[in-house]
Amino acid sequence: MAEMMKSGQLFGVNDLRCVELAIPDRRDGEVLVKTSMASICGSDLHQVCHGAGIMYPTPCPHGYPGHEAIGEIVDAGDSEFAAGTKVLCFPSVPKAECFSEYQRIDPKYLLRLPETQVTPGELLMAQQLGTVVFAMRQRPVDVVGRTVLIIGQGSAGLFWSFLLKRQGAARIIVADVVPERLAVSQAYGADVVVNAGDDDLGEVVRDLTGPGADFVIEAVGRKEVLNQTIELVRPDGDLMWFGLPDNDDDVPISYAKFFRKRLTANSTYGAQEEADGVSFQAALDLISNGAIDVSPLLSHVYPIDDITTAIAVANEPLAEGALKVSLSF
């Protein structure tokens, strides 16, 4: 009888279940990893909860679309890794199986976990941090002495705050609607904290900056926030549209305002395909050497059996005060 494993499997919009399946055989050119933890990304929520960007007919392949995990190699195949090596997994989303107790993965999407006093769960946060490092490397903006506005203080928004403060931003304004996220924002570099559910963000930004912030980052992934970034950036300012859209529809923007303000907007995608996982390695180094404390982010960890609950909490973080929702195996 085949040995079984637990896995998340997407059967339809808002229908991600824990199922039992046979452990798959490793395919040529891949390794087999036993997953110890996985995290839920905002882009996962857009696919699971809104049906945006689903790449397969349902039911989708097991473990999809999870793409943030740590684990241990149990079958290294002909790769340079050895069985027993503990690794960070950052697979390309179309091939991702991170919501699964065992995952097949191309070794180019793996990095060895360093020897450190930092917990494995904290090292898992290097996947999300690495995507922000990648975005900053691909689309650099000079923030020295300038004012930055970051809309969204989930893990990505907090990492933007941390890294931009390190790069010399004079003032960082952050906004979110989850009090628990705002409560930790100052520890990551925020100078001004705005609860966008209680206060008028536009009024706060105008009072502090006059014409608007020099650099505005959208780290929410909601189409209605895109136009807000155009409103809140100064003329000749820069925008980073970092959050993946929550649906596949076209997003109307205030192009006349964008045009007349002479704005520059950027987005990034594909950190997983960067050669040698350079940005993810940089993120691992920051976490493992204690340059950044990510322990506050591990607010909610559910067993894989409760993946339906985990998705619901991640999608509506306000009710539970969730920062980052993860899965244990």
Asked if the peptide bond before residue 61 counts as cis, ω within 30 degrees of 0, the response is no
Q: What is the spatial distance between Cα 139 and Cα 236, in angstroms, rounded to a whole number?
A: 16
Nearest to 88 by CA among 258, 291, 282, 306: 282
Q: What share of the chain is helix, strand, coil (3-state, %, to 5)?
A: 35, 25, 40
| pLDDT at residue number 242 | 96
Q: What is the spatial distance between Cα 329 and Cα 327, in angstroms, rounded to a whole number?
A: 7
In sequence order, the 6+-apart residues with CB closer than 8 A to the CB of 99 are: 7, 8, 16, 38, 62, 63, 64, 65, 66, 304, 307, 327
| pLDDT at residue number 248 | 82
Which homologous superfamily does the CATH classification assign to the domain defined by 140-266? NAD(P)-binding Rossmann-like Domain (3.40.50.720)
CA end-to-end distance (rounded Å), the chain: 22
Could you say which architecture CATH assigns to the domain 4-127+277-328?
Alpha-Beta Complex (3.90)
Nearest to 42 by CA among 329, 293, 324: 324
In sequence order, the 6+-apart residues with CB closer than 8 A to the CB of 141 are: 215, 238, 240
Contact 72, 34 (CB under 8 A): yes
User: What pTM was computed for the model?
Assistant: 0.96
The sign of the dihedral angle between the CA atoms of 89, 295, 14, 177 is negative
Nearest to 212 by CA among 146, 291, 283: 146
Alpha carbon 315 to its chain's center: 13
Residues recorded for the chain: 329
Contact 184, 209 (CB under 8 A): no
Q: What is the spatial distance between Cα 147 and Cα 74, in angstroms, rounded to a whole number?
A: 48
Q: What is the spatial distance between Cα 171 and Cα 189, in angstroms, rounded to a whole number?
A: 9
Nearest to 134 by CA among 174, 82, 90, 79: 90
Q: Where are the domains of the chain?
A: 4-127+277-328, 140-266
| pLDDT at residue number 1 | 58
Instruction: Decide: helix, strand or coil at residue 187.
Output: helix
Strands 264-266 and 233-241: parallel
Nearest to 151 by CA among 122, 181, 118: 181
Contact 86, 76 (CB under 8 A): no
Beta pairing partners, 216 = 149, 239
Contact 280, 90 (CB under 8 A): yes
Beta pairing partners, 21 = 5
pLDDT in tens, the chain (329 residues): 579 999 999 999 999 999 999 999 999 999 999 999 999 999 999 999 988 889 999 999 999 999 999 999 999 999 999 999 999 999 999 999 999 999 999 999 999 999 999 999 999 999 999 999 999 999 999 999 999 999 999 999 999 999 999 999 999 999 999 999 999 999 999 999 999 999 999 999 999 999 999 999 999 988 889 899 999 999 999 999 999 877 788 888 899 999 999 999 999 999 999 999 999 999 999 999 999 999 999 999 999 999 999 999 999 999 999 999 999 99
